[in-house]
């Protein structure tokens, strides 16, 4: 049975280390971790979560774009666990967009990200998948991919003037700002 795990907060060293590869994707402990991450992400109204955020320094994350209170306009997609993910290519075109993070509650930032990307990952069954993502889903992948590289979104913000509190973000979003 899946459990809601504690989410590592900014300042904890697990968020700043490079995650190790998952040796055996079909291992039952990896499947249990994925289920725990999924319920933890849903409970926290996330659209993605990386294993380091639940104190597991592994190259594994879930991308699960969906409308929720934190991201009301997010497109719907089936939650996808990505094991040992790779970024194969990225468009030159970038776009700034607002990001938040379950490990940095109460803060949002304007983060430049590639608009389109090509990725490769292993499924929980150990199958290799290659996908292309664009816009919000590409943003979520890149955000989670950063987590397994020891980066967080505030590392990518170009200026501290592009950081706002969650309360101010809600105000800006409601007035189209």
Contact 161, 68 (CB under 8 A): no
Spell 96-116 as b/e; 16+ CB within 10 A means b: ebbbbbbbbeebbbbbebbbe
12 is in an annotated binding site: no
Is 166 an active-site residue?
no
175 is in an annotated binding site: no
> Which residue out of 78, 93, 95, 144 is catalytically annotated?
144
Task: Count CA atoms within 13 Å of residue 72 on its CB side.
Answer: 5
Which residue from 10, 11, 66, 64 is spatially nearest to 37, judged by alpha carbons?
64
Q: Known binding site for Fe cation: residues? A: 101, 143, 147
| Residues marked as catalytic | 144
Q: Known binding site: residues? A: 101, 143, 147
């Amino acid at each position: 049975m899946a459990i809601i795990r504690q989410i590592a907060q900014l300042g904890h060293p697990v968020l700043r280390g490079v995650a190790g590869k998952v040796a055996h994707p079909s291992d039952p402990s990896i499947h249990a971790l994925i289920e725990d991450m999924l319920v933890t992400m849903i409970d926290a109204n996330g659209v993605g979560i990386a294993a380091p955020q639940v104190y597991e320094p592994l190259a594994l994350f879930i991308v699960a774009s969906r409308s929720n209170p934190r991201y009301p306009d997010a497109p719907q997609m089936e939650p996808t666990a990505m094991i040992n993910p790779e970024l194969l290519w990225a468009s030159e075109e970038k776009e700034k967009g607002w990001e938040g993070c379950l490990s940095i509650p109460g803060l949002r930032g304007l983060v430049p990200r590639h608009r389109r990307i090509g990725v490769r990952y292993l499924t929980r069954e150990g199958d290799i998948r290659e996908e292309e993502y664009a816009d919000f889903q590409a943003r979520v992948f890149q955000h989670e991919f950063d987590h397994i590289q020891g980066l967080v979104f505030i590392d990518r913000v170009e200026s501290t003037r592009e950081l706002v509190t969650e309360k101010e973000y809600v105000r800006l979003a409601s007035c189209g700002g």
